[in-house]
């Protein structure tokens, strides 16, 4: 009843093409890349400007209905799944780059801008927006802010949070809150922006963001190092870091990931190796050969059994395409694909990688491991069949053990993918009760009626 009234109000505010009520449409926009989590929104709306977002939120607040923002719906933790129905607020029509300012080295964007599109545009001007989630070809700036997305380049350049200097946020009451200023530094009051970054759309709705850009590195080279032992690859990461050089990436693929990618998207990876590191070095042209020699020396000392170098940008991008297609390739092995996102202090990476392999062997599960290992971050991708009860039970047991191991090694259960619905039952393993209580209080302050993406995170 309330929903019917709300839909009628929404139709008065938005054009009819921007209000979807058919079941098929609602279902399609209510899922994300999380495995096995399902929901159906009552209505899907597309906002075209900030005022429309304010109207939508005011209607939701009036009728106390959930509002769930949606970028590309690629998060893997059910952060966009409409567990309790409500309104899906889709940002695909607010996808404009409003300004690129070369003097200030900033870009002002709407939330639906695709990360990869922004990167291409700023790079044409010799600028760089480093955060590079593996699915940057589709994921949006709004989604990246709400998940604090990271990627391979985080090792050298940091994650999304390091590039947000200002945001316009629509609050749960439909007001506009500005988090910063158009400057790279800001010490005026509390840093409210940091609360919204990584908040999964539970505290406010990002309707515009000003991003910091940096100069694009003059040159880069990809070094692909293969190892005959998994732990040698993990140990090589610490050896590289000890050299005090800073590659832009130190990424990882285990044997199953290499073989699966090569099977479905062949690019010439060496499939008889146990693991590979993808190391990218960048900087001035004159520095590349020196960096390459240092990294090569360390890799040889760390027992790399084969090393390949990209000689053109096309070759480098082929290697990255292969790495970025790993989840898609693994998804072809079984009806369902699960991916996780655990992170430990780098010194404990060899134990984590070995431990995950051991746990999956124990439960008879195939695991394809990839990860931004320079940060200590590992994504175990486990292809399974959710209809196979035994396999599903084993998967759940393995997941719990992987989290316990991660915590034992001083790590946490999400480095970049967030908590959403998928991990909320586990959050108390890594966030203590005092901190959780403060988080709940913060939620109440910003969203007293619990309408913004309710029941996500905790
Ligand atoms: C194949 C694959 C590879 C991936 N690789 C990486 C990786 O390398 N690194 C990484 O960090 N993540 C990765 N992810 C996870 C995911 O892609 C990222 O979290 C991504 O940034 C989400 O963007 P999106 O536009 O799809 O957001 P969505 O999934 O649509 O939304 C994510 C969250 O943001 C909220 N939201 C969306 N827009 C707004 C807004 N304007 N205001 C407030 N809240 C909003 C949503 O409600 C939801 O809670 C990967 C996912 C896949 C499927």
Query: Does residue 229 have a pLDDT over 90?
Result: yes
Mean of all residue pLDDT scores within the chain:
96
Q: What pLDDT shows up at residue 243?
A: 86
Query: Does residue 271 have a pLDDT over 80?
Result: yes
Task: Give the pLDDT band of residue 36 (cuts 50, 70, 90).
Answer: confident
- 90-127 pLDDT, tens digit per residue, is 999 999 999 999 999 999 999 999 999 999 999 999 99
Q: What pLDDT shows up at residue 3?
A: 87
Assess whether the C-beta atom of 249 lies below 6 angstroms from ligand 1. Answer: no
Query: Does residue 66 have a pLDDT over 90?
Result: yes
Assess whether the C-beta atom of 280 lies below 6 angstroms from ligand 1. Answer: no
Query: Does residue 196 have a pLDDT over 90?
Result: yes
Q: What pLDDT shows up at residue 306?
A: 97
Q: What pLDDT shows up at residue 220?
A: 95
Assess whether the C-beta atom of 111 lies below 6 angstroms from ligand 1. Answer: yes
Task: Give the pLDDT band of residue 35 (cuts 50, 70, 90).
Answer: confident
Q: What pLDDT shows up at residue 77?
A: 97
Q: What pLDDT shows up at residue 275?
A: 96
All structural domains of the chain, each given as residue ranges with its CATH number in brackets, are 2-90 (3.30.43.10), 97-215 (3.30.465.10), 218-332 (3.30.70.2190)
Assess whether the C-beta atom of 146 lies below 6 angstroms from ligand 1. Answer: yes
Q: What pLDDT shows up at residue 440?
A: 97
- The residue-averaged pLDDT of 26-43 equals 92
- 139-192 pLDDT, tens digit per residue, is 999 999 999 999 999 999 999 999 999 999 999 999 999 999 999 899 999 999
- The residue-averaged pLDDT of 44-59 equals 98
Query: Does residue 1 have a pLDDT over 80?
Result: no
Percentage of the chain exceeding pLDDT 70 = 100
Q: What pLDDT shows up at residue 37?
A: 85
For residue 76, the CA-to-ligand 1 centroid distance in Å is 8
Which residue has a Cα nearest atom 15 of ligand 1? 75
Q: What pLDDT shows up at residue 244?
A: 84
pTM (predicted TM-score): 0.96
Task: Give the pLDDT band of residue 310 (cuts 50, 70, 90).
Answer: very high
Assess whether the C-beta atom of 134 lies below 6 angstroms from ligand 1. Answer: yes
Query: Does residue 75 have a pLDDT over 80?
Result: yes
Tallying the residues shown for the chain, one arrives at 458
Query: Does residue 287 have a pLDDT over 90?
Result: yes
Query: Does residue 323 have a pLDDT over 90?
Result: yes
Best of 135, 260, 415 for a ligand 1 pocket test (most atoms within 8 Å of beta carbon):
135
């Amino acid at each position: 009843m309330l929903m019917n009234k709300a839909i009628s109000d929404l139709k008065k505010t938005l054009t009819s093409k921007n209000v979807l009520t058919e079941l098929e449409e609602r279902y399609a926009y209510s899922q994300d890349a999380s495995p096995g989590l399902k929901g159906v929104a009552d209505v899907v709306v597309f906002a075209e400007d900030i005022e429309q977002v304010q109207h939508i939120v005011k209607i939701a607040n009036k009728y106390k209905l959930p509002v769930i923002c949606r970028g590309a719906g690629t998060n893997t933790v059910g952060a966009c799944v409409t567990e309790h129905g409500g309104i899906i607020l889709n940002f695909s029509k607010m996808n404009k780059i409003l300004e690129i300012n070369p003097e200030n080295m900033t870009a002002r964007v709407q939330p639906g801008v695709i990360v990869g599109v922004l990167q291409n545009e700023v790079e044409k001007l010799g600028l760089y927006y480093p955060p590079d989630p593996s699915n940057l070809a589709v994921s949006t700036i709004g989604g990246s802010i709400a998940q604090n997305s990271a990627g391979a380049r985080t090792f050298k350049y940091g994650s999304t949070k390091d590039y947000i200097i200002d945001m316009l946020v629509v609050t749960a009451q439909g007001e506009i809150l500005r988090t910063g200023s158009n400057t790279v530094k800001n010490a005026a009051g509390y840093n409210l922006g940091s609360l919204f970054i990584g908040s999964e759309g539970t505290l406010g709705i990002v309707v515009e963001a000003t991003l910091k850009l940096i100069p694009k590195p003059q040159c880069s080279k990809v070094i692909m190092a293969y190892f005959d032992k998994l732990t040698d690859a993990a140990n090589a990461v610490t050896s590289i870091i000890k050299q005090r050089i800073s590659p832009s990436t130190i990424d990882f693929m285990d044997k199953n990931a290499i073989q699966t990618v090569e099977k479905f998207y062949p690019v010439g990876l060496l499939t008889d190796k146990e693991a590979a590191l993808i190391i990218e070095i960048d900087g001035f042209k004159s520095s590349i050969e020196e960096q390459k020699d240092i990294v090569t020396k360390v890799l040889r000392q760390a027992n790399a059994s084969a090393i390949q170098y990209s000689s053109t940008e096309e070759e480098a991008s082929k290697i990255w395409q292969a790495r970025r297609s790993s989840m898609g390739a693994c998804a072809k092995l079984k009806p369902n694909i699960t991916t996780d996102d655990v992170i430990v202090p780098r010194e404990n990476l060899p134990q984590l990688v070995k431990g995950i392999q051991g746990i999956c062997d124990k439960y008879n599960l195939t695991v394809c491991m990839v990860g931004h290992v320079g940060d200590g971050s590992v994504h175990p991708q486990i292809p399974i069949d959710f209809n196979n009860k035994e396999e599903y039970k084993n998967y759940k047991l393995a997941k719990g053990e992987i989290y316990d191991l991660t915590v034992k090694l001083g790590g946490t259960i999400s480095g970049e993918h967030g908590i959403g619905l998928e991990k909320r039952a586990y959050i108390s393993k890594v966030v203590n009760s005092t901190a959780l209580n403060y988080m709940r209080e913060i939620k109440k302050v910003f969203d007293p009626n619990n309408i913004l993406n309710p029941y996500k995170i905790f």
